Amino acid sequence: MKPFEFIYGNHSSSLKNKTIVLAVTGSIAAVKTVELARALIRFSANVVPVMSKSATEILHPNALEYACGQKPLTQITAQMDYLDLFGKNGRSDLLLICPATADCISKIAHAFSDDLISILALNALGSKKQILIVPAMHESMLENKLLQKNIVKLKKAGIVFLEPFIQEEIGKLPEKETIVLECERLLSVHSLKNKTVVIASGKTEEDVDDLRILTNRSSGKMGSELALQAYRLGAQVVVVACEPIPFTQIKQIRIRTAEEMEQALFQECKKANFLLMPAAIGDFDIRVVKQSGKISSKNKTVLELFPRAKIIAKLRKKFSKLFILGFKACAQESEIESICLEKLKKDQLTALVGNVGKTMMGADSGTVWLFKEKGSVKIQGTKKEIAQNIWSEILQ
């Protein structure tokens, strides 16, 4: 077996039967493309490596051959590989130019075709294939007005850009997981195109004093996976959560308390088509024992907890036509159906997901039950698989 075959599909089959041409230009960030190529392969992609001349002077072609299982294309030949890949009947699905230099971007913007990568880009554009460009260069070069004009021009032509993050005055490549997610989105069926999805995720925190909080064990994993799947399906996604998720493409609103969660959700739901509520929102307000400072541990302290009105019921009252998917953690499996059906009706939810809280909270996999007006379905697997199946059921 070739080295890449040991990792093929280890993480997901989301890019199965998809051919991605990874075009590497002469940025020092080229050294990161071995890891990127292998990440794409772990998601079942067939990765065809292409390198500019300057890229081969930074990264040896043998490294990408090892990563992808095939020799990188490095020059224009009589075999006309660019037509095999991106001609009218080309076999490739996506041209990923990563890292992309200012020189490469500007050549494509002005339809120059004096090297293999620019020819691939022009053919991909002509064949209406997807193109994703990930720039990497010094901040001063990235902010050059002429380059920015070229980027705007390419965006208008339908090319997608994934912005670098600025650190030490350098525009650096996003994490490989972020790039893989963008590839998944570009190559997925956009069932949620032009839709806005708001997701409340993870725990909340209530202050006991200046140092201590009352919270819960929710990891936010289910919310994150639901958000990522919605993004793959073409939605504009907003995540309201205490903890961030490491994907820059998704709008994130950071909150801490249940009150902050409530305020953020009421604001974001004004433009939403879907609201998903896997968050473990605090059920109690705390009567503050000490207005400031730290409660002394020398004496016995009693905390008074006051039940909060359920946010999901308030949201339904305000947004009567919004699709709302609730979540309910139950103590044991035998009570899930009765509790969920009662809550589904009481809160007038579109659908509701029930689970056994102690086995699902913080876990990477498990079992849930999705209840809708016309029946229920049992869903098992990793939280990524559960999220995919929940969206499939919602969109039926």
Q: 373: exposed, middle or buried (C-beta count within 10 Å: 0-12, 13-18, 19+)? A: exposed
User: What are the boundaries of each domain within the chain?
Assistant: 3-186, 196-281+307-394
pLDDT tens digits along 125-139: 999 999 999 999 999
172 touches 29 (CB < 8 A): yes
> 3-186, what's its fold?
Rossmann fold (3.40.50)
Q: Tokens 């913007």 identify what position?
A: 109
The 8-class DSSP code of residue 203 comes to: B
CATH 3.40.50.10300 fits 196-281+307-394, yes or no: yes
336 touches 368 (CB < 8 A): no
Q: What share of the chain is helix, strand, coil (3-state, %, to 5)?
A: 35, 25, 40
Half-sphere exposure of 256 (CA within 13 A, CB side): 5
Which pLDDT belongs to residue 209?
Answer: 87
Average pLDDT, the chain: 95
Which pLDDT belongs to residue 290?
Answer: 59
Strand partners, 275: 198, 324
Cis peptide before 3 (omega within 30 of 0): no
CA 144 to centroid of chain Cα atoms: 29
Instruction: Judge whether 3-186 and 196-281+307-394 match in fold.
Output: yes
pLDDT tens digits along 289-305: 656 788 888 888 888 89
Overall residue count recorded for the chain in this entry: 396
133 touches 21 (CB < 8 A): no
* Nearest in space to 171 (alpha carbons), one of 152, 146, 148: 148
Residue 288 has pLDDT above 80, yes or no: no
Which pLDDT belongs to residue 296?
Answer: 84
Residue 367 has pLDDT above 70, yes or no: yes
